[in-house]
Structures are given as structure tokens and as C-alpha cells.
Amino acid sequence: MNITVIGAGYVGLITASGLAETGHRVICVDDDQGKIDTLNAGGMPFYEPGLGDLVDRNRAAKRLEFISRIEDAVAQCEVIFICVGTPPLEDGEADLSSVELVARRISACARGYHLVIEKSTVPVQTGRRLQKHFSIYGDNSQSHYDVASNPEFLREGSGVEDFFHPDRIVIGVDSKKAAGLLEEVYRPVLEQSFVCPIHDSCGKRPHVPLVVTDINSAELIKHASNSFLAMKISFINMISDLCEAVGADAGKVAQAIGMDSRIGSSFLRPGIGFGGSCFPKDLQAFVRVGQSAGCDFTLLREVERINQRRVDLFVDKIKHELWVLRGKRIGVWGLAFKPRTDDVRSAPALAIIRRLLAEGAVVRAYDPQAMGKAKAQLPGVEYCADAYVVAEGADAVLALTEWEEFLSLDFEKVRTMMARPLIFDGRNMFSRIDMAEHGIEYVDVGSGAQLHNHTPTL
Ligand code: UDX
């Protein structure tokens, strides 16, 4: 099938190259000429494991091309995915101006039938607005449309894997034709009938469930999914505060409650909070959706509030140990909002560092992938070649992103290099016992066994 994907960000690029890999001919469009030139020159606009190879292979096979003019793509394709950004406005509502602009450009040039699929994360009833838009601005004598919703659930850092092996595919449609076309688009993924580009021996996998519903429900499924995951994280962070206060172990609590299959063990890792380009903005947008529909979304406001307080609580812990921060040398391991990505959008690490710099601390930092993007947002930090340079002469080191490589550090060496062997673990990635064996003072999130705290008797 000939498919157009508009927007070459995470969702767009992974969708475009994934669909090409499963045999479709895909034109990926982005009005950022610089990004298109980078892609056509074989470069990647961001770091995502496995994506570069996928793009190269499909471009070489002429199944994938990158252009900047929507009109040239629309003329060749019936199926159009809208994957543009929907960043938050001042008040947290989703900014849909890029979605509307794309709709305008499509309706100005489209001829014949087109299925326009919203894949960007959008508030409920956006599809309705698109339908209205096409009925007003589309030249109904020459063109007719179906609108559909097909939310994306990929995670940064494992986006390629999530495209080929999703838990489910959700489509929101208003017509059998639209449903049929989307099923055709995704057939190889639904039937897992493709040669897996990620796993050498992928083996026969069960078919992927296809959830077919109406457009409004499909749009809500995305916001509700992300808000629920964010709620799990804020829940365990709330519990971890209690564990610290009463002398219990949040890691054990999470492990045991997660064994209940109704709860599930994922997304119960306490820490410095969730960040990234999705959870914070989707939560804000969903709270506004609830509000404008006259519903009480206090629960999600609390999820936001608990998450925002993670940074304060973590900095308080550091001050509790280091007393005056002015002039203290603090090392930071990890800047990205999570491992396996160079993305620092709403990264808790950056918020923590800003607080430390504001208190006059001297900060050295290292991240395997995200230093370039962090530098743009955080001058005043010394970016280092590796984790050891960061530890050299430090009064404390903060582990803020759980990159695999930090687990295999030589902690004997780290201890001898630091002015005070003290590690604050904001992602509970290290073991308390290992740290003690290396003679390193260790403060994690959620265990009552903190260094110098007085557990109150309730
Ligand atoms: C998320 C959703 O997982 C994905 O389905 C959706 O399509 C986009 O948003 P992503 O933003 O890539 O994906 O990150 P995710 O892996 O979900 O992590 C989000 C944040 O939560 C990260 O900052 C991570 O560190 C934090 N997190 C995650 C926790 O603090 N604890 C956990 O147990 C899990």
C-alpha cells in the first residue's frame, strides 16, 4: 500500500520505517527541511536504538522516502497518518495547531478518497473536529474522506520493538472501509508475519489483538493509558515516602503488591518521578479534557502534584546530608528522562540540577547519550567524558537515570576518587548491600534505612 506519514518525530519516524519494513511504500513528510536533509543524508534527528538501521534499510530498498511537501505525498497516497507534535499550551491544554495546519494542507490538495488517521496524541473529539474541517474546507466535488484514530503506545528507547511487538493495536473508525484499510495496513504486525528486524530468533508469536472502536473512545484510550501508568508511578512514590517515614522498604512493598496479577509489577519503581515528552503533557491535557467536560479529575491532579514534589524531596535529602550546598562538588550520573534515549524533555535530572546550581553547588555530569541535548538547556554544568571523571573529588554523586553502564562501574575506584563516598540513588538502580561492601554511603528512594534519619514511632 502507498502510505503517507506526516511528521518525522518519534512516532512518525518509527511508524514510517516500521510500515515500510512490513512491505508498504511509505512517504514520510516533515516541514522541517533541516530534518528531511539530515534523514536523506543518512543521519538521524534523535537517538533511538535500532531505528537508524531500519530507516537505512528501507530507504535503500526504496520503500521509504523523506520529503517536505505534503502535497506531493497526498497525491500518491490514499492512507495518511498525522504524527505531528501536540505540545502543551501555557494552560496545559494540547496545542492542536499543527494538526489543523496539516488538515488544511490536505484539504487544499486532496483529490479522490483519503483515509486520514490521527496518530498524534490528541484530546477526545479531535477526530470529530477533523471530520468537520474536511467537510468545510475539503472540495467535496473532488474529494471525500474518512477520519480515524490509531493511538500509538511506543516507549522511547524501545520504540522499534514496541512497533513490531505491540500489546494491542487500537483503531477508532466510523466506517467499514476505514476499518478494512487499517487492518490491511497492520496485517503483518497483527499476524506477526514479518521477518523480525530486532530479534534474531523471534519465533512464532501470538497474533496481536486489534481493538476496533469509535473515534472518541480510541482517543480516550491513549490519554487514559498514559494517565493510569503515571498514576501507578505516583502511587508507589507516595508509598515510598511513607516507607521512609516509618522505616519500611518500598522496593519490597512494590514487589509484593506487584505479584497480584490484578496490580502487575511494571511501573511500580519509586524514584525521582516520571518525565519525558508524554506523561507530563498528556496528564496536563487529560486533566483539562476532564475539566472542560465538567468531570472531577482531582485524582490526576494529585498524580501530577506528587510527581512535581519528587524533585523537592530528593533535593531535601541531599541538603539533609550535605548541609550547605554552596561550593559543594556534586556529580551526576544520567541526564535523560530514562535510559536508552537522548531525550531530556521534562527530565527530573535537569530539574534537580537546576535546584543545585541555584543553591551554588558545582555540578559535573555525564550521560551516555543526552549531554548534547542537556547542554542546550543547562549551561553552567561541567559535562564529563565518563562516570569516573564525574566522581573525582565529588562530595556526593547522584544517580538520576538508570543507564545499564552505571551498573558495571568499578565502585572501589569510585570510592577512592570521591571526596566523600556518598551516592544518592534517584532510580534505585544500585544495591544497598553492594554499596555497603564498597564502603560507600548510600541513600535511595523508599527505604527507611536512611543514613541519619530518625524514624518516628506512630
Ligand atoms: C510513555 C508510555 O510508556 C508509552 O506507552 C507512550 O506511548 C508514551 O509515553 P515514555 O515516555 O517513552 O513512554 O516512557 P516510559 O518508559 O513510560 O517512562 C516514563 C517515565 O516514567 C520515565 O521518566 C521513567 O523513568 C518513569 N518511570 C517509569 C518511573 O519512575 N517508574 C517506573 O516504574 C516506570
User: What are 200-240's pLDDT values in tens digits?
Assistant: 778 788 999 999 999 999 999 999 999 999 999 999 999 99
pLDDT at 450: 53
Cβ of 156 closer than 6 Å to ligand 1, yes or no, is: yes
Cβ of 271 closer than 6 Å to ligand 1, yes or no, is: yes
Counting from 1 in the atom list of ligand 1, the atom nearest the Cα of 152 is: 7
Cβ of 278 closer than 6 Å to ligand 1, yes or no, is: yes
d(CA 189, CA 194): 7
Element of type H or E holding 246: helix 215-246
**From ligand 1's centre to the CA of 418, what distance in Å?**
32
**From ligand 1's centre to the CA of 154, what distance in Å?**
10
pLDDT tens digit string along 380-413? 999 999 999 999 999 999 999 999 999 999 999 9
**From ligand 1's centre to the CA of 155, what distance in Å?**
7
Counting from 1 in the atom list of ligand 1, the atom nearest the Cα of 268 is: 33
* Minimum CA distance residue for ligand 1 atom 15: 155
Cβ of 338 closer than 6 Å to ligand 1, yes or no, is: yes
pLDDT tens digit string along 313-367? 999 999 999 999 999 999 999 999 999 999 999 999 999 999 999 999 999 999 9
Please name the amino acid found at residue 273. Answer: G
Spatial strand order of the sheet with 25-29 comes to 64-67, 25-29, 2-6, 79-82, 112-118, 143-149, 169-172, 210-213
Cβ of 155 closer than 6 Å to ligand 1, yes or no, is: yes
Cβ of 153 closer than 6 Å to ligand 1, yes or no, is: yes
- Residues with catalytic function: 278
